[in-house]
Structure 1
Amino acid sequence: MINLEVPAKFAQLVDQAHQAAAEFFRPNSRKYDREEHTYPKELDLLAALLDGLSASGGGAGAGGVRRETVAKRGNQNGANLRLLLGTMEMCWGDVGLLLSMPRQGLGNAAIASVANDEQLARYAGKWAAMAITEPDTGSDSAAIRTTAVLDGDHYVLNGEKIFVTAGERADCVVVWATLDRSKGRAAIKSFVVDRTTPGFELVRLESKLGIRASDTAHFRLTDVRVHRDNLLGSPDIDTGFAGVMQTFDNTRPLVAAMAIGVARAALEETRALLNEAGVDIDYDRPWTTQPAAAATFLHLEADWEAARLLAMEAAWLADNREPNSLQASMAKAKAGRTATEITLRCVELAGAYTENSLLEKWARDAKILDIFEGTQQIQQLIIARRILDKSSTELK
């Protein structure tokens, strides 16, 4: 039976994460929003804390849980839920700064999820970004064009990757490439590429609508030679793509947690502004009998609570070694859409269209959480396939 209350054993962790968010993230939120592409060096002091929040327990990064290492002793709340709760609190402070934390990249999650023991040891303590999206390939990750050709003991990678979060700052990048374009998703593999590898060129850093504290890179790979030991998972075609995709089952609830944290910040700020304006939000009265602003707030808060519970369910299932692909996509879809709606409606309710309030920044930050790691539309497609028991070929 799932209990979706915050476990008492995580209370100290949640409190520590909230303190970090309140004492550093929130006060510096506007500063690094304005100073895009400037690395917040103060984050190095918090990196150890985030390592503690990480599901690996040793710096493997966001979502870094290897399910086979989780002992099954009845229902339990474990590393995924712990990291989810910490992420919510930190993103209450600032989601862009969280995404800038060392060793918390999606690449770390891929390494932790599918790497062998030797690779885990070799990349322990490294900051890994993830490179999936290409100029001509967005949501359909199985259609990527970057190629990997085996040449002796090395694979030679050629292609282009865009929208790589923390790409410039990371020590290495997990690059998705195909061994054979004609084989589709069956030939997709992921390779750990050190940032200093010859031919791995940083083309530019993107200027963005939101999460401006986090760098987003565009790379070009020209005859990049990567040792075969850097391939994550099986080198055999027709084997391993499902394992690579399993990374998202761990990380999509974390993106949902980011959205939940941002939305909560907006709700709390809006509630305070409504109270100052004399608008009373009464939970003991039907919303139809309350002022329009109060009724709107109650609807937004109810949506937020639904998103939070979905995300916690997805994390709990992962902790208990239960399939959670459906719930991960449901949480990501609900939270991404809800955070976008909540932050925009809060801007509207508060009239916060200028930089005098962080509400306008949170509205900008929230939109990416409905896009990256699978857009709203892709999540809905995944959900439909799971519910209707259809394959990707049968339901496109």
Structure 2
Amino acid sequence: MYLELPKKLKVLGDMATNLSVEMLRPISRKYDLAEHEYPKELDLVASMLDGMNAGEGGAGVGADQSKQKSEEKTGTRNGANMAACVGIQGFCWGDVGLLLTLPRQGLGNAAIGAVANEEQAKRFQNKWAAMAITEPGTGSDSANISTTAKLDGDHYVLNGEKIFVTAGSRADIIVVWATLDKSVGRAAIKSFAVERGTPGMEVTRLEHKLGIKASDTASISFNDCRVHKNNLLGNPEIDTKKGFGGVMQTFDNTRPLVAAMAVGVAKASLDHTKKLLKEYTQCDYSAPINTVSSAEAEIYRMEADWEAARLLTLQAAWMADNGQPNSMEASMAKAKAGRTCNAVTLKCVELCSSMGYGEDELLEKWSRDSKILDIFEGTQQIQQLIVARRLLNLSSAELK
């Protein structure tokens, strides 16, 4: 098992980290305090990213997986999913809230990349896409979607409400999960690309949050919202055996991305803690852990957990790039990275005492930002349930 990043990805990671230093961290506190105000500085960052990836944005994520199914596979690939994870880690070393509000880099773009056909991928290529799954009362049970989509001629009519939509008030497209027939169950759930300005879609409120305040989190209502049938992502047919699998493939691509966010935030906290404590704690990696100070031992333990989370994340992304089923690995990465990020950021605040708790440093902000990374895209408990089902070869009905 080769654990080093390829040279091209190291360069990408360095570029993202440098951009974080120069452009994200300097405005991090500003937009943490100015919640719901759009960071105009990100327009320049987004333009730079468009130049780097030929305007594909986050839509490139997931594309390699489907592409390889129709091509003869030779060797291994480090493609869009791996590159996205490395870049995201570097950006979140700067600020995860700002990363979440970068134009054309939304999780909805990864959803489009996972299930859109060639025509849709091209049509939505330069759009900023958010993802709308969660509803009042559904919690983490994505299969319990109640938003409906009824076919009426050449359009689907959407009715329902979505909450906690990241970039919901700013994105060009909202990728909406809705059911074609509630009585059929999860097989009838499909995703629709609803473009901003579509009559019947309305942003009803913006949430006030613990962390990631630079990112807008919206509630959106759909009242007789007519969406052309060409905006249904994936297969429109209801297949009771595999219908939900196509929609859930979205998570196989986006969960490693969220894990990468957690890896980046945890790394930022670790690096800054070592910097703040350098006068009091010098890390000596050659010394046995039982001979060093308590603070030093804590840092070693956190770094070991961080490295495990990072490798799990890269493994899940690599599998997606190489056309391998990665549902279990994506959930493992998300669960490990989310939990590790929470633990690391809070412990770093504790180790740095007053320096960690005050607004003079970013440690307290990172500890607040970290909590969402263990919640969205499926909570810790949901990820563990998915892993258990895969290991035990049980269905969702058999293991709840």
Same-fold status (TM-score > 0.5)? yes
Aligned equivalents of 1:380 and 1:92: distance in 2? 26
Partner-residue secondary structure (3-state), 1:61: helix
Checking the alignment, whether the CA contact within 8 Å between 2:60 and 2:80 is kept in structure 1 is: no
Give the Cα–Cα distance (whole angstroms) in 1 for the partners of residues 232 and 246 of structure 2: 13
SS in 2 for 1:129: strand
| Alpha-carbon contact 2:255-2:333 (below 8 Å) kept | yes
What does 1:222-241 correspond to in 2, within 5 Å?
Answer: 222-238=223-239, 240-241=243-244
State how far apart, in whole Å, the 1-side matches of 2:87 and 2:257 are. 10
In structure 2, the gaps of 5 or more residues are none
Task: Let me know the Cα RMSD of the aligned residues.
Answer: 1.5
1:175 aligns with 2:173: no
**Shift of residue 50, structure 1, vs aligned partner:** 3.1
Shift of 1:9: 2.1
Alignment of 1:66-77 (within 5 A): 66-70=64-68, 72-77=73-78
Cα deviation for residue 240 of structure 1 reads 3.5
- Contact 2:24–2:98 (CA under 8 A) maintained in structure 1: yes
C-alpha deviations, 1:215-256, integer Å up to 9, x for none? Answer: 000011111111111111111112532111111111111111
Shift of the 161–370 alpha-carbon distance from structure 1 to 2, 3 Å rule, reads same
C-alpha displacement of 1:12: 2.4
Secondary structure of the residue aligned to 1:193 is strand
Query: In the alignment, which of 350, 372, 388 is matched to residue 392 of structure 2?
Result: 388
**What's the counterpart of residue 111 of structure 1?**
112
**Separation in 1 of the partners of 2:186 and 2:130?**
21
* CA deviation map 1:296-335 (0-9, x unaligned): 1111111001101111111111121111111111000000
Paired with 1:9 and 1:59, the residues of 2 have a C-alpha distance of 18
- Look up the match of 2:349: 347
Contact 1:200 1:222 in 2 (8 A): yes
Q: Residue 255 of structure 1: which of 254, 258, 274 is its match?
A: 258
Distance 2:22 2:75 in 1: 38
| CA positional deviation for 1:286 | 1.4
State which drifts further: 232-241 or 178-187: 232-241
Matches within 5 A, 1:43-82: 43-51=42-50, 58-61=56-59, 63-70=61-68, 72-82=73-83
TM-score if structure 2 supplies the norm length? 0.95
How many Å separate the matches in 2 of 1:350 and 1:62?
40
Partners in 1 of 2:376 and 2:165 — Cα distance?
10
Partner Cα distance (2:29, 2:271) in 1: 18
Give the share of equivalent positions with the same residue, in percent. Answer: 64
Whether the 8 Å CA contact 1:62–1:105 is kept in 2: the answer is no
Map 1:21-170 → 2, pairs under 5 A = 21-51=20-50, 58-61=56-59, 63-70=61-68, 72-170=73-171
Q: For the residues of structure 2 that align with 1:13 and 1:256, how far apart are their CA atoms?
A: 18
Mapped to 2, the partners of 1:252 and 1:290 lie a distance apart of: 36
1:365 aligns with 2:369: yes
Partner of 2:6: 7
2:42 is matched by which residue type in structure 1? L
Indicate if the aligned counterparts of 2:24 and 2:94 stay in contact, CA closer than 8 A.
yes
Structure 1 counterpart of 2:309: 307
Q: CA distance change for structure 1 residues 57 and 246 in 2, over 3 Å: closer, same or farther?
A: farther
Query: Which AA in structure 2 matches 1:63?
Result: V
Compute the displacement of 1:66 (Å).
Answer: 4.0
Paired residues, number: 393
Secondary structure of 1:103 counterpart: coil
Aligned to 1:374: 378
1:214 and 2:215 aligned: yes
Q: Could you tell me how far 1:57 is from its partner in structure 2?
A: 6.8
Distance, in Å, in 1 between the alignment partners of 2:380 and 2:61 is: 20
Aligned position for 1:189: 190
Tell me if structure 2 keeps the 8 A contact 1:13–1:53.
no
Distance 1:12-1:281 versus aligned 2 partners, 3 A rule: closer
- SS of match in other structure, 1:317: helix
Residues 128-160 of structure 1 show CA distances to partners (whole Å, capped at 9, x for unaligned) of 111100011121111011011111111111100
Per-residue CA deviations over 1:141-197 (Å, capped at 9, x if unaligned) read 110110111111111111000000001001110111111111110110111111201
Letter in 2 for 1:42: E
Shift of 1:283: 0.9
Equivalent-residue separation in structure 2 for 1:129 and 1:20 (angstroms): 23
C-alpha change, 1:52 and 1:183, in structure 2 (3 Å) is: farther
Question: How far apart, in 1, do the equivalents of 2:182 and 2:269 lie?
Answer: 45
Partners of 2:363 and 2:168 in 1: CA distance: 28
Q: What is aligned with 1:274?
A: 277
| TM-score of the pair, normalised by structure 1 | 0.96
> Is 1:20 aligned to 2:40, yes or no?
no
Counterpart secondary structure, 1:283: coil
**Contact persistence 1:287–1:295 (CA under 8 A):** yes
CA contact (8 A) 2:64 2:320 kept: no
**Distance (whole Å) between structure 2 residues aligned to residue 375 and residue 37 of structure 1:** 25
How far apart, CA to CA, are the structure 1 residues paired with 2:12 and 2:393? 39
Deviation, 1:64, is 4.0
Distance in 1 separating the partners of 2:47 and 2:220? 29
The CA distance in 2 between the partners of 1:288 and 1:135, in whole Å, is 49
Contact 1:51–1:61, Cα closer than 8 Å, also in 2:
no
